[in-house]
Structures are given as C-alpha cells and as structure tokens.
Structure 1
Amino acid sequence: MVTLDLMRGYYVGVLAAIHLSYVPSLLGLFDGRGGLLVSEAEGFFLISGLLVGMLRRRDLEQHGLPRVARNSWQRAGQLYVVAVTLTLLFTWIGRVALAHGRTQVKVGLDDHSTPLTLLVNALTLRYTYGWADFLSFYVPMFLLAPLAVWLLSRRLAPLMLLLAYAGFLLPSYFDTGSCSPFLQWGVYFFLGMTAGFHWDDIRRLMSRMSPAPRRALRVGLVVATLLIYAVGMVLLYHPTLVSASGTYDHLFQNNRLGLLRPLLAPVSVAGTYLLVRRFEEPIARTAGKVLLPFGRSSLYVYVAQSFFVFLVPFVFGPRGFWFNTVFDLSVIAAILLGVRTRFLAFLIPRA
C-alpha cells in the first residue's frame, strides 16, 4: 500500500533528526522535533498497528486463531532478540564512553549493576537503553495481538479500546514502573489494529455514503489535520501562549501523556492518509524515492538511525542552520545507502 509506505517512510525517516534535535535546521522548521500535538512516533505506532490488524485478520479468516498467535508471537520473539541485544550493546558503549571521560551518553544508562543483574534486567525488559527502545515496547503488543484479534472478531472493539485507553491513563496517576512505555504507546498500536482489522468494512461504509457526506467527511478530516499541525507549530514557537496553563499540559503534553492525544492522533493520521493518497503519484515520483524504501524497510531504518543518534553526540553537537541541515540530510542519505545496499540487513528482521 503505497500511501501507507510513504507515511511510514516519513515517520521513521525523520526520527534521527528529531531525536538529535540539532536545531536550527531546515527539517527542524516543520517536523516539530517531537513537540507537536501529534508526533511522528504516534503516527508510526498507529500505522504499525493498522498493518498488523490487516494481516492478522487475513490469518484469522484463512487459517484461524492459532495462525494469528503463531505469527504474532514469532514477531514478538524476533523483536525481543533485537531489542535485548541492542540494549546490551548500547549499554556497553555507554559504559566505555563514560570510562573514557565522555559525558554525552544518553540518559538512563545503567552504569553500576553487575553483569548478571544487567543481563537479567535486560532479558526481562525491566531495563531498556539506547535509541531503539521502541522495539521492546512492541514485544508485549505483539504478545497481546492474538487477544486483540479475538476481541475484534467478537465485535468487542469498544472493550479493547477502553482497556487500551485505561492503560494509557495509568502512568499519569500511578507508578507503573517499566510497564509505562508499553501502556503509553500501546493505545496507538491498538487503535491502529482496530482500524486495520476493519479496513475493508470502513471502505465499504465509505463507498455506501452519498457523495456529499463522503466529501464533507474527507474535507473535515483534512482540515482538522491541518489545524492540529498549525496549532502545534504555533505553540511550539510561542510556548508562552500556554506556559502558565496546567490544563493545556494535562490535556495535550505532559511528556506525551496528555489525556486527549490518543483522540487527536487517529484524526491526524486519517487526514494525512487522505492528503497523501490524493497526491500519491507525484509524491512517489519525487520524495518517494527516499520515503518508499524507508517505509518498506522501516525496522532496518529505525535500528540504523539509533546508532547515529547515540554515537554522533560523542563527536560534535549542534551548530549553525546550514551545518545542522546538511548533517540531517547526510544521515538520511547514509541510511538510504544502507537500505539500498542491504548493509548488515541480515542481522535485522524484515519490517
């Protein structure tokens, strides 16, 4: 699905620039560096869930729930191995860097546990480290995917979404420890799964609508998406407009745990989908030369960018506009080269 590949390619392609946040830069003028009302990460989790919902429904209809469980748990196992390996590798690099006087290591480094304790904590996912930590969040999502498919097949989508949103709320009111990232990001994954499972149903529903209401719905989603982006950009560059508002922080920010963010994200992703779908052909011919390979090898791109984000601060920090812009583009070019040549791709499961 070209439109989804283009969107996923953008979401994962700018992660290195967002995580490094070397601003000012050309990309930094419009990508929000993760500070908008809907972030690229939320969109990426939504699309991931959407694709899983599509695939697992096909498994369910053709082979039954055992195949759904097998494929989901196999994927969980693959991501688990990669996530634990990268945590241990980045921890080792971070400890070596500290031992040599480097202080630019990513926060959260376990620099004191014994090797055995470190290994146990990494294997149980109580400790994750590095810039590929999303992989460990995906593991429980894929473990629970068969249950989600079963609920969706029993027309219990409202119950599943209610549970997902309740989980999203928990870290704001209780100490959920190492489960917090899964609860925070899981709501987007399961929202996407619901849409993906009912993808054909949604398309049939849209096709049965008369032209005027269908057009109004499409235009409304696109306008809402543009407003969400515009408001986010205004507040990003003029934070004093809401700096004294605890309500705004509670509803929309709060370290991305704002209560209304899971409601804005599906609207934004749906409107973006309609926009990209409308201009799919020219986008594919131009920016798609980068976005499509990224979208179709998203796991490879995500892991590759994690090394750039982790290692580059040891060498240099942000500088002027043009230097930062060239650097952002150079990272994207280097990762594209890796995708094209499949450099070390045998170490990473396919996206």
Structure 2
Amino acid sequence: MDQASPGISGRSVPGPDLTSLYGRHGYPPTPGGRDLRFDFLRGFAMLSVVAAHLEMFSWFNFLFWERLGIISAAELFVVASGLVLGLVNRRVIDKAGLEEAAVRLLRRSFVLWRALVVTVALIVLIARLGLIDMTAVTTFTDRWAAQTYSLIPSADLPWRRQVALVLTMRASPHQIQILSLYIILLALAPLLLWMLGRRLFGAYFALTWVLYFLGSLRTEGDTRLFGMQFEYAFPILYWQVYFTHALAVGYFRAEIAGWLADAARRRLVVGAAVVLALAFFLFAQTTANSTFPAWSRLNLITPERFQGLYDVYFQKGRPGLPRLLNVAVFFMAFYALLTYFWQPIHKALGWLLIPLGEASLYVFLMHLVFIVLIDQIPGYFDVIPDWHEVWPGRIWINTALYLGTILGLWALVRNKVLFEVVPR
C-alpha cells in the first residue's frame, strides 16, 4: 500500500508507516510503485487456470479444484483486476481527469476484444484446414453427462453469420471466455469510476446489487443478459459484483489503508478474514466430489448435505452470498499473508508467479497452445478426470505435463516470445 496517495481533491491522504506495520519479513514500502502482490496473486490465479483447463487429474487438483475454498481462478482474476483498475485509475483521474482514464479503459477494452477475435479466427482457420486436432479448444465436453458442445461457428452457416458470431463474442473457446466478460466490464468502468468520484455510493451499490438479485430471480440457464456464450459460465448479472466491489476498494485504497492504520482495527479485520477463510477451507474439504479419493475428504457433514448447500449457495455460475463472502475473505487472507510474509514467499515463488502475473493476458492466450499440444496425445482428454483412473502411475505423468506447461509459459514470458504480437 502507498504511504501517501493523492485524494480526489488533489491533497495527499496520509497512510500508515509500512515498515512498522509489516515487520522485517513483510512487504517493503513502495510508495507510488507497482504492487507486486497483485502480480503474485494473478500469477497464482494462472496456476489455477491451467489446472482447470488441462482436463486431467494431477496432484495440483488437490489445490486448485475448489479445495482452498469454494473459489475459482476466474474469481481471483476478476477481483485482482478490479482492484488494480481502481487503484491505477484513481491516480490517472487525479492527475489528468476522468476523460483520460476513460480513453485508456476503452482502448484496453478494444485491445482485449481484438485479441479475442483474432485468437478465435485463428482457431477456426486451423480447425477448418484440418492440419491439427483442435477439438480441445473448439468444443466443450461435459464428461459427466457425456455431452459435447461446439464452441465455434458451424461451417454450414453462411460466412457472414460466422464472422458476426466471432465479432460479437458469441463464439470462443471456453478456456478464454472470461475475456468477453472482462471486455464488457472494462467498457463499463468509466461510468463506475465517475460514480465513485462523485461519491454516489448509494446509487453505485444499489445498481450492482439490483443487477445481482435480478440474476437470482431468473431461472437456471436463463441468466444471460446479452445472449453471449460466455454468460453460461460467467453470467454478468452475477459476476459484475466481484468487479464493482473490487473497483471501489482499489479506488479508495488510500482511505482504507488510513482506516486500517489503527492496530486494533487492523487486527480485527485481518483476523476475521483469516478465521472465515479457514472455515471455508474446512468446508471445502468436505466436498462431495467423488473424483477425489476418500482419504482426502473430511467427513464433517454428509456428501448429500454438502451437495445441497453447494447447489443453493456455492455454484460458480450462480454464486450465492456465501460464495461471494468466501471469495472476499480468501483474497483478504491471501493478501495479508503476502503482506506480512512477503520476503520468504517472494524468495520461494516470486521468480515464477510474478512474471506470469505481470503478463497474465499473454499467459491466458498462450496456454491454449499447450492445451492443443497435449490433446495430440491420443485419448488424453477423453476420460473423466478422476483419482481412481490415474493412481498410481498416470497421475505422475499428468503432474509432469502440468509443470511442463507452467514452466513453458514462464519461459515464453521470460524470453518475450511473440510479445510484439500477443498483448500482455
């Protein structure tokens, strides 16, 4: 956090003494500089993204398949992005005005849209030529229901219709569909920042929660606002809540830091977040997911009870209030962990996660290449990812493939491969 950050009027808002707050193992004071904790967290989210999209069971599933809490990498990514946008654009607004911030946000939204369109167009072209099997990114298979859905325009459609589907983000690989959500949220961000700057808190939070509850009133499968493909996984009526609240926290970060400068208040907030995060962690260990071995699951409640609670409150596509709370306290606890123990954590994993987080868009797009390459192994993604199918031998191969993918992406980032072409 910054020691001093300009307020909305241009005056400095005093912040806490970071050295005394964080201790000798904590995050160093970097007033006005880039917060590497956010890059670290986004890099961590990338680990989870790869684990989810490499549809095979490895040792990393025990971390990233909703076992640290009922959370996903997508939620961490949206929250981190909202926080960074709020923080950065507060500075831009204070220095150059809202118009400059709006131009930057809309330009970034266009860059992401262009990257998505070009990526989908390349995938469609390669699939049509038949030079390599692109099934892993052109279809989505619900392996439990044994049903496959096409994610690219049908070749039987008129070419104009195919182009329209791609341009309007109605067709894209499921692995990168969250980009469509983010593109829309970025386009809406100038309005949200204007409301925050005018201190229209009542209207701001009323708007986000009205949209959320409108989503909850819709029947399952009917939560799409724009009729886009990504809304099946990331309904904007629900998922905008993560972004809008994170944006507000980032925007008023200096004021929040000043409020938390009181030691007793800070201990209460951090302690509550850690306790709740641990409670959700324990709840996640009672998972009814039978793909995990029995020895890895706690028997605190019955699988039926867990599934009943999950279906009502914890679905990713229709997150209830408990899931929203889980995401919030996990992020707070993780951020506090990085804040107070940054030096050893950075030494152990910073070399890997910070580069991945700094180039998160690049990593997000390039991980499709590794998915396609692994899918060339005959039958590799054709079975339900399940512990009982991979133990004792194949799980080690799967884990090696996962680590190879992560290290491969890291190497691409470190060597800036295609940085001139692929946006970061």
Closer, same or farther: CA 232–288 of 1 in aligned 2, 3 Å: same
Corresponding position: 1:295 with 2:357: yes
Query: Cα distance 1:244–1:330, how it changes in 2: closer, same or farther (>3 A)?
Result: closer
Shift of 1:101: 8.2
TM-score w.r.t. length of structure 1: 0.89
- Letter of the 2:260 partner, please give it: M
- The CA deviation at 1:247 is 4.8
Higher relative contact order (CA 8 A, sep 6+): 1
Shift of 1:259: 1.6
Q: How many Å apart are 1:322 and its aligned residue?
A: 0.6
Greater percentage in helix: 1
Question: Are 1:231 and 2:283 counterparts?
Answer: yes
Which amino acid is the alignment partner of residue 92 of structure 2? D
Counterpart of 2:83?
50
Q: 1:215 aligns with which of 253, 267, 287?
A: 267
Whole-Å separation in 2 of the counterparts to 1:34 and 1:80? 32
What is the SS of the residue equivalent to 1:346?
Answer: coil
Q: Is the 8 A contact 2:67 2:281 kept in 1?
A: no
Whether 1:199 aligns to 2:256 is no
User: How far is 1:170 from its partner?
Assistant: 4.3
1:259 lines up with 2:320 in the alignment = yes
Structure 1 residues 166, 323: CA separation in 2 closer, same or farther (over 3 Å shift)? farther
1:347 alignment partner, SS class: coil
**SS of 1:131's equivalent?**
helix
| 2:47 equivalent among 1, 7, 13 | 13
Shift of the alpha carbon at 1:33? 5.8
Match of 1:189 in 2: 243
Paired-residue identity, %:
28
Q: TM-score, normalised by structure 2?
A: 0.75
Given that 1:18 and 1:33 are in contact with CA atoms closer than 8 Å, whether structure 2 keeps it comes out as no
1:168-190 residue CA offsets vs partner (Å, 9 max, x unmatched): 44455153222733334322122
* Letter paired with 1:298: S
Q: Which is greater in Rg? A: 2
Residue among 125, 129, 148 paired with 1:92: 125
5+ residue gaps, structure 1:
none
**2:384: which partner in 1?**
none
CA distance in 2, matches of 1:79, 1:275: 31
Contact 2:69 2:326 in 1 (8 A): no
How far the C-alpha of 1:34 sits from its partner, in A, is 8.4
Distance of aligned partners of 1:67 and 1:140 in 2 relative to their CA distance in 1, 3 Å threshold = same
Q: Number of aligned pairs?
A: 345
- CA distance, structure 1, for counterparts of residue 55 and residue 172 of structure 2: 21
Seen in structure 2, the aligned counterparts of structure 1 residues 273 and 349 have a Cα distance that, compared at 3 Å, is: same
Q: Match of 2:160?
A: 116
Query: What residue is the counterpart of 2:330 in the other structure?
Result: 268
Instruction: Calculate the aligned-residue CA RMSD, in Å.
Output: 2.5
Q: Retained in 2: the 8 A contact 1:53–1:194?
A: yes
Distance 1:157 1:268, change over 3 A: farther
